[in-house]
Structure formats: structure tokens, C-alpha cells
A and B are shown apart, each in its own frame.
Chain A
Amino acid sequence: MATTSIANAISAYNQASKSISNGASSAPDEAGAGLESDFSALLKAGAKTAIEAAKTGEEQSKLAIAGKADIRDVVTAVNNAEVTLQTVVAVRDKVISAYSDILKMPI
């Protein structure tokens, strides 16, 4: 029972990292990408998504300061950036805690 649940957990993390890194980085990365582990690829892809969302939010805010943007667009963009960052941070924390749990495992 215990072994199956651990195997399930590992495959679930594997799947999560794959789905996030596939969803976020559609373009192939630079040459070193193949050598990277799933974990760093996951973090990289997550950070990329968050940065993009934050950039959109900042662009909208800049337009708003200049009085050119619709305030509703600004709110939507900034909200979106906030939620994306929240998601990335939550996933990162979860994955890092899983990692340290594995490291602490007695061999």
C-alpha cells in the first residue's frame, strides 16, 4: 500500500511538471535545455509565464498613468499578473517541499 502511494505521488509530480512546462514554453529553449532536469524546466517555465503576465500588467499601468488605457483593462491585466504569480509561487513551494522531503528520506 505504502509503495504504491509513493509511486503515485512521484508520477503525479512528474505529470504536473510536464504539463506546466509544456503549457508555458511552446518555443524550444536554447541548446542547454535538453540537459536540464524536469524540475528546473518547470520553475523556468512557471517564471516565464509570471513574467509575461507581469509585463502586460505593467504596460497597462503605464498606459493608465498616461491616461490612455481603460481602467478596466488595467485592473484585469494586473489581476491576471497577480494570480499567475500566486500560482507559480504556490507550485514552486509545493515542489520544493516535495524535493526536500525526498532529500530527507533515510536510505
Chain B
Amino acid sequence: MDELSKSSLIASSGMKAQAERLRVVAENLANAESLPTSPDVTPYRRKVLSFRNVLDKKIGADVVKVNKIDVDRSEFQKKYDPKHPAADSSGYVLVPNVNPLIEVMDMREAQRSYEANLNVVSVSKTLMSRTVDLLK
């Protein structure tokens, strides 16, 4: 396989990984205010994902894969809302451990990484076409 085709395949694995990251961010952001239904139930727990390099035998190079989607084990925050059905005896409700600011920054980073990989694909395609154009 041509080296330039390999680079676009590697970059597309990066794009897939970043797209999955964006999906997790979307999940976290959408559920930032998903409260429990009763006092003994926990609210939505923030999800985190990690990446891993995998040797692709067909390409002969390391591509990126999503290692595992895990949960953030940090403490839930508490909000005083005695009228809520999930409020405990002292009137506090557990809220998800999602910080929208962190999620937005994560989204930004996923976007930038996706764009970087997109540029690799477009540069390798342009170079390939221009090389072929030498024949004309």
C-alpha cells in the first residue's frame, strides 16, 4: 500500500477516536443535570474515555483506538432542594459530578484533534493527486 494512503488511514482512525470522544462529551453535557429519582439512587456519573495505540498489521503502523469508556469516580456534589423527590433528610440532592466548563474544553480539544487529522487526510490526498498529475 502506498505510504500516502497509509497516512490517510491512520488519520481516519484518529478521527474515529475523536468522534467517540465527542460523543462521550455530549453524553456528559446532556446529563449534567440528570438528577436521581429517589434519595438512595445515585445521579448520572461522568464518563471518561482513554485512547490506546494499536498496531495495524495491514498498514504496518500504530493506529489509535478507544481503550475503554470508564466512569469518573469523583464525589457527587450536593444541592439544597428540599422539595425534590430525591432530597435526603436534611434537604440535599446529589447532583452529577459533571463540570460543564471541563466538558466544553474537552469538546474543544476533540474538535482540534479531529481537525488536525482531517488536515492530514486532505494533505495526503492533495499530494497523491498532484503526483499523479505529473503524468499529464
Chain A residues in contact with chain B, CB under 8 A? 70, 72-73, 75-76, 79-80, 83, 86-87, 90-91, 93-94
Contacts and interface: CB of A to CB of B under 8 A. Distances in A.
B12 to A, nearest CB: 4
B32 interface: no
Q: Which 7 A-B pairs have the closest CB atoms?
A: A90-B135, A72-B12, A87-B132, A72-B15, A86-B132, A76-B12, A83-B128
Size bin of chain B's contact surface: 10 to 19
B129 interface: yes
Most chain B CB inside 10 Å of its own CB: which residue of A70, A76, A91: A76
Interface in B1-39: 5, 8-9, 12, 15-16, 19
Nearest to B1: A80
A15 B9 CA distance: 30
Given A76-B8, A83-B125, A93-B136, 8 more contacts: A72-B15, A75-B121, A76-B121, A80-B5, A83-B132, A90-B135, A90-B136, A91-B135
B125 A79 contact: yes
Contacts of B16: 70, 72
29 contacts: A70-B16, A72-B12, A72-B15, A72-B16, A72-B19, A73-B12, A75-B12, A75-B121, A76-B8, A76-B12, A76-B121, A79-B8, A79-B121, A79-B125, A80-B5, A83-B5, A83-B125, A83-B128, A83-B129, A83-B132, A86-B129, A86-B132, A87-B132, A90-B132, A90-B133, A90-B135, A91-B135, A93-B136, A94-B135
